[in-house]
Amino acid sequence: MQYDPIKDKLATYLSIFTMFRTVFYHILDQLLLRQRYVKREIERYFRDGFAFYDAGAGFCQYSDFVLKQYPEAEVFACDLKTDYLQSYAAIASERFNYQSADLQSYLPSKQYNMAIAVDILEHIKDDRAALRNLHRALSDNGILIISTPSDMDEAAAFTAEHVRPGYNKVELERKIIDSGFEILSSNFSYGFWGALSWKLMMKLPLSMYGMHKALCLLWPLYYGIIYLPAQLLMFIDMHIYNPRGTGIILVARKMN
C-alpha cells in the first residue's frame, strides 16, 4: 500500500486550511499509539532550553509539541519533503528552523541535545549512515529516540515506501550500538492490546474507505462506538510489558 499520496493530500489541505492543523495533530494523538510512546519519552528526557532535532519530521507534529511544551526550546526539522516543512514554518514560532535534506548524507551545522527519528529508518536504504549522522548531530550525552515497525508487523512489509519490512529488535540495537550509542531502553510497542487498538482505529476504517469512499460517512458512528474501548487498549499497551509487538520504541544516549 502507498501512504505517501494520502499524506500529500493531507499536507495540501493543511497548507490551505492552516487553522485546522492543531485539530489534525490532536486527531493523530487519538489515533496513533506511537505518538503517545514518543511523547512520553520526550517528556522523560527533555529539559526546557534544549535544542531539539526532528529528523524526518513529516507533518512536524513533534516539533510543534516541543515548541508548545517547552517555551525556551529551539527546534530544527529535517525532511525530504520541502513543502511539508515550509507549510509548518509559515505558522511556527521563530524558534523553529528547517532544512530539506537526506538523512543519509546530511549533517546539521550545530549539535542538539535530543533527536528523534519516528517511522523514518525503515524508509532509508543506508540506515547505518543515517545513524552515524544522527550521532554526530548530537551533543555529548545527547538523547536519540527511535520509533519504527518491527519485523512482526506484516503491514510494514506491504508498505510501498519501506525499503525493509520492519526491524528485528536485536538487529536494530546492534546498529545503534555500532553507531556510538548506549541504549537506555528498548521495548516493543503495539503488543497484543496496542495492535488490536490499531486495527480498530486505523485498519478497519481504512478498509471501509478502500471498499467504497462513501463508507467514510459512517466513520462518526463507527468511532463513536469504538473510541473508548480503543483508548483503553492503548493505555494498557503503554503500561504493561510487551514480550513482542509490531513496533519498537528505543531510547539511546550518545557516548562521549
What domains sit in the chain, N to C, each tagged with a CATH number? 4-191+242-254 (3.40.50.150)
Rounded distance, CA 97 to CA 99, Å?
A: 7
Q: What average pLDDT does range 195-207 have in this prediction? A: 92
- Beta carbons within 8 Å of 82's beta carbon, 6+ residues apart: 100
pLDDT of 208 strictly over 90: no
Of 122, 120, 74, which Cα lies nearest the Cα of 101?
Answer: 120
Residues 6+ apart with CB under 8 A from 57: 63, 77, 78, 79, 84, 85, 88, 98
Give the residue-averaged pLDDT of 103-110: 95
3-state secondary structure of 230: helix
pLDDT for position 6: 64
Tell me the average pLDDT of the chain: 91
CB of 169 closer than 8 Å to CB of 188:
yes
**CB-based contact 77:112 (threshold 8 Å):** no
Q: What number is the average pLDDT over the span 119-137?
A: 95
Query: 179 vs 17, which has greater pLDDT?
Result: 179
pLDDT score of 64 more than 70: yes
CA–CA distance, 113 with 110 (Å, rounded to integer)? 10
Cell numbers placing 113 = 541535545
Assess whether pLDDT exceeds 90 at residue 188: yes
Task: Using the predicted structure, report yes or no on whether residue 212 has a pLDDT greater than 80.
Answer: yes
Local confidence band at 158 (pLDDT 50, 70, 90 cut-offs): very low
Residue 155 pLDDT exceeds 70: no
If you ran DSSP here, which 8-state letter would residue 239 be given?
T
Torsion, Cα 126 33 78 173, to 10 degrees, reads -30
The mean pLDDT value for 123-135 works out to 95
Q: Bigger pLDDT: 154 or 190? A: 190
Task: Between 193 and 15, name the one with better pLDDT.
Answer: 193
Share above pLDDT 90 across residues of the chain, in percent, rounded to a whole number: 76
Tell me, what's the pLDDT at 11?
66
Calculate mean pLDDT across residues 228-240: 97
Residue 156 has pLDDT above 70, yes or no: no
Please give the pLDDT value at position 108. Answer: 95
| Mean pLDDT calculated for residue range 150-165 | 68
**38 within 8 A of 249, measured Cβ to Cβ:** yes
